[in-house]
Amino acid sequence: MSRALLGMLALAFVNGTFAQFPFTRVMDVRVGQQRPAISSIVQDSDGMIWAGSDRGLLRLDGDRVDVVLNLGVARVTALAPVDTGVIVALSTGAVLYCARNRCDTILLDTVLQRSPVRAMAVDGHGRIYVGTYGAGVLVASIRGVSGPSMVEGLPDDHVNDLCLLPNGSVVVATDQGLAVCTEGKVQAVFSEEQGAPDNLVLSVTATLDGGVWAGTDRGGAFLWRLGHARTTDHIGAAACQGPVEGIMELDGMIWIAGSMNGTLLFDQGERNHAYFPSAAALPDARPALDLMADRDGAIWWCDGSDRLYRSDPAVLIIPDHEGVDLKQITALCIDRGKVWFATADGLYSHPTAFRGDARLMKVPLQVDPRTPIVSLDASGDGTIWAATFGSGLFAVHPDGSIDHLDDVHGAIDPNVLSVRAGGGMVWTATLSGMFSVGNGHVEHYEAPGAGFMYMVLPLPDGSVLGATDGNGVVRLDGQRTVPVSTTGPRTYYSLARDSGGTVWAIGPSSGLCRVGDSTMACTGSELPMFNGDVFALATVAHRVLVFSSAGCDAYDPSTGRWTDLTSRSGLEDLQAELNAVCQSPEGALWLACNKGLVRMHALDHWYAPKLSTVITDVLVGSTHVPIRAEWRTTHDRNGISFRFTAPYYADPGAVRFEFRLSGLNDRTVRTREREVSYPALAPGRYTFQVRAFLGEDATGAEWTSMRIQVDPPWWLTWWAITLAVSLFILLTIWAVRTRDQRLRFRQRMEQEQVRFQLEALRSQVDPHFLFNSFNTLMELIESEPDKAVRQVEDLSMFFRNILQVRDKTFIPLADELRLVRTYFGLEQRRFGEAITLEVSVPEVDQRMSVVPLTLQLLVENAIKHNVATIEAPVRISISSTAGFLVVANSLRPRRSPARSTGFGLDSIRKRYAALSPRPVEVERTETNFVVRIPLVPTGT
């Protein structure tokens, strides 16, 4: 009982509605683990979708969800797009401008808490119209410089929606009708008094030609133009199925938000031509809250849940119609504004416009369910030809009469696989080759081999091609068919001719083959679509579309590029009957598949989508940097992350990116990620470039770039380096100079000292000695001339010796002794017996060396400083002991000391200290004065 009731309900549902809807993709939006309740959506000029929710302001690129503004308890009440950003109204009374990665407050007013913002619009002058529920319309500036002003003269302060007209006026939808305002003043009001169907206007949108579509609570939707007294167009409340919460006009289609299943779509040209989303397709959809048209001509809506819906009117899916399951279609064709299709239950026709008043027509053609119709085509006279696999060919004439041709009735193989009309004839492909039907008789053309033929294609030039199993593509030649080429793949399923006259063929794992006069040129056989089943081939203008179990792919022969349309057209997991595709004269493709009957208007931007790459965020460390074409940072803030994206909602998974950072290296990196980090950039200039593309081929994609300069630390700037280097050079020069000077000074000092000592020594030797010697000589010349002669001889010898030894460091002791003896001889002539010299140095020690003039100086000192008398002569002895030369003299110092510089002994000491490891020892007792001079081995 209950099952019967349910069945009746289902039937009533099917009969009451038309289950057809634009292909709608549902996006689940998640913020972490949370499900935001999205109440408004807009698209900015970058193409990014912004969504206002109870979790804050979200931005979507199809793949990722960014929380641009985290709001806590506040909600987003309205959104309006401006350039690359949005104006956001919050339930806290704040109005903000958010773009890329930053938000600025424009307006903050507590009035907006009590009277929440319902809608906003921004005009070309940067004026923001803020429509509030309870406080009228406020006009603020996007720069927020001046306080808001009010729009005066509104019929009601309760604003539900706003829109801008092309001339800059603002249309305000209030609880008491529409108002048009210019320059802050209301110019016109349109309410029930003026002929509006309802005062309570909930939504409003402007058309390109200056009209206004308004959605009302219980009056449906109406079109009104400024200056007109009445509505220009009207969609009834019953058709709208309730209050119109949102409305949008796009390419002559009116989209209505608020029905029980999301949105309704009205074709403005044809009344009652409404598309309803099927409850089966969108089971969880709730009444839509906000509508928006994106740049690709698709409509987005949200329903207060965490889901966003994107409907593409270019793809219409009709899963069932008037109780007929259109997912089971086996063949179809289009003729004179009608689509003819066959299911296992029979043959149907329906107007190509699936509008409310159009009805399905069933052809009274009895077909054995075991031999369903596999191919349909219309000949020029309006006859529909239905081919069955097993029951032959049926011709349904425009007058309703039906002809049947098979081996009994018309000498034709009943196992027909394809029928095509062309050149005034009808051609069939059968299990035993090709047949033509025309002018009342049937011709048979054998195919090579077994003769299995999948498809036949008559061409405008009169030739006929056939796709065979095992013998490739064959061409009709007289009474026979001959293979076009004997090489290449042997089995083909489908043939199609493009607008340029080129014929294409596909078969299992054949790739896409161009049929030439005698060649088959195949391409793409390695692509995934040829791995599985291939179903059909179609041409749109010069492009070729292949339908396979992998979906739908388009080939452009002029560029050789394949474009995957599967995700765009919603044809994932496609299953279809062989060649169940046809094209309407307007260029729409109709495909019968497991989704139902699909109508596709593949638009040009489908084949070559233009992706614009946007850098959405730049992070330095953890700070967001304003997005500019050029910016700089410092050396210690050089960890830089870029976030970029390319909004593409039709098939977000196909987007790839290429980026490079010239300045670091010229390596171009390919990635699916939408983020890249450079943890430590060395100081320098860099250019970050990124571009997005689909598939594998990046050629032609445009780069988006950003220049960065990382400033070096101050100690690495040119002036600091110059300063440091010059300082170092100066210091070095100074140090070298100082050291040099000191060394030279010391050297000079030493030289000076030595010279001084020598000079002193010499001068010491010279004057007194000479004076005394000459005095002695004077006495001797008078008394003893012989002695005087000897005295002069000794003197000269003495000086010669001094001259000889003067420059030497050491001289042998023997030489020194000889010099001393000569000197002593000179002195003895003066002092006589008052001085004595005793030398007892062994021969061995005489070979040792001493500093020249040492002994002479000591002997001279002994004579000079002591009182010398005959009674107490000065006895000088020179001996050697244990490597020392001992010079001793008796000590009787003069009472008045002789002129002494104290230089002699001291200089000997110093010279020996410098030249010998052993010091000169001086010993002075009461009676003796002993000096020990170290003997230095000769030759050192």
Partner 1 sequence: MRRGHLITWLSLLTVLIQSPDLCAQERVLLRLDRSEVTFLSEAPLEHITASNTNCTGLVDPAARTFAVQVPISGFEGFNSPMQREHFNENYMESSDWPAATFAGRIIEGVDLTQPGTYSVRAKGTLKIHGIEQERVVPCTVVVAPEGVRVTAAFDVAVADHGIRIPRIVQQKIAAVIKVKVDVLFKNDKGK
In the bound state with partner 1, the residue whose beta carbon lies nearer, of 158 and 691, is 158
For residues 299 and 255, the answer to whether their CB atoms sit within 8 Å is: yes
CB of 675 to partner 1, least distance (A): 36
Distance, in Å, from the CA atom of 406 to the CA atom of 700, rounded to the nearest integer, reads 56
In Å, how far are 354, 767, 804 from 595, measured between CA atoms? 16, 138, 130
**303 is a contact residue toward partner 1 (CB under 8 A):** no
Which residue among 54, 63, 123, 157 contacts partner 1 (CB under 8 A)? Answer: 157
Per-residue x/- marks for partner 1, 647-686, CB under 8 A? ----------------------------------------
**217 is a contact residue toward partner 1 (CB under 8 A):** yes
In the bound state with partner 1, the residue whose beta carbon lies nearer, of 6 and 867, is 6
**306 is a contact residue toward partner 1 (CB under 8 A):** no
What's the angle, vertex CA 247, arms to CA 241 and CA 250, rounded to 5? 120
Distance, in Å, from the CA atom of 57 to the CA atom of 39, rounded to the nearest integer, reads 11
CB of 39 to partner 1, least distance (A): 11
- Which residues, in sequence order, are bridge partners of residue 262? 259
Residues 176-195 touching partner 1, rule: CB under 8 A, are 176
CB of 130 to partner 1, least distance (A): 15
In the bound state with partner 1, the residue whose beta carbon lies nearer, of 115 and 613, is 115
**135 is a contact residue toward partner 1 (CB under 8 A):** yes
Structure tokens at 210: 């200056």
Which DSSP string do the residues of 42-107 spell out, in sequence order? EE-TTS-EEEEETTEEEEE-SS-EEEEE--TT--EEEEEEETTEEEEEETTSEEEEEETTEEEEEE
In the bound state with partner 1, the residue whose beta carbon lies nearer, of 71 and 625, is 71
CB of 150 to partner 1, least distance (A): 13
**Number of residues located near partner 1, criterion CB under 8 A:** 13
Per-residue x/- marks for partner 1, 583-622, CB under 8 A? ----------------------------------------
Structure tokens at 573: 């997991």
Which residue among 63, 84, 103, 134 contacts partner 1 (CB under 8 A)? Answer: 134
Tokens 């191919």: give the residue.
375
In the bound state with partner 1, the residue whose beta carbon lies nearer, of 201 and 434, is 201
Distance, in Å, from the CA atom of 515 to the CA atom of 497, rounded to the nearest integer, reads 10
CB of 67 to partner 1, least distance (A): 22
CB of 161 to partner 1, least distance (A): 13
**H helix runs in 425-495, sequence order:** none
In the bound state with partner 1, the residue whose beta carbon lies nearer, of 191 and 428, is 191
CB of 19 to partner 1, least distance (A): 23
Distance, in Å, from the CA atom of 676 to the CA atom of 665, rounded to the nearest integer, reads 15
Q: How many C-beta atoms surround the C-beta of residue 749 within 10 A? A: 11
Which residue among 20, 77, 115, 349 contacts partner 1 (CB under 8 A)? Answer: 115
CB of 217 to partner 1, least distance (A): 5
**175 is a contact residue toward partner 1 (CB under 8 A):** yes
Rg (CA), the chain: 59
Which residue among 200, 437, 777, 788 contacts partner 1 (CB under 8 A)? Answer: 200
What's the angle, vertex CA 932, arms to CA 768 and CA 761, rounded to 5? 25
In the bound state with partner 1, the residue whose beta carbon lies nearer, of 9 and 361, is 9
Distance spanning both ends of the chain, measured CA to CA: 139
Q: What is the dihedral of CA 343, 344, 349, 353, to 10 degrees?
A: -30
CB of 176 to partner 1, least distance (A): 7
Which residue among 55, 100, 158, 350 contacts partner 1 (CB under 8 A)? Answer: 158
User: Whose CA is closest to 458, among 420, 501, 500?
Assistant: 420
**H helix runs in 866-919, sequence order:** 903-915
In the bound state with partner 1, the residue whose beta carbon lies nearer, of 44 and 156, is 156
CB of 195 to partner 1, least distance (A): 16
- Type of residue found at 27: M
> Could you give the angle at which helices 785-805 and 718-783 cross, rounded to 10 degrees?
170
Q: Which residues of 199-214 are buried (b: 16+ CB within 10 A; e: fewer)?
A: bbbbbbbbbeeebbbb
Structure tokens at 570: 């919603």
Per-residue x/- marks for partner 1, 233-252, CB under 8 A? ----------x---------
Which residues form the interface with partner 1 (CB under 8 A)? 114-115, 134-135, 157-158, 175-176, 199-200, 217-218, 243
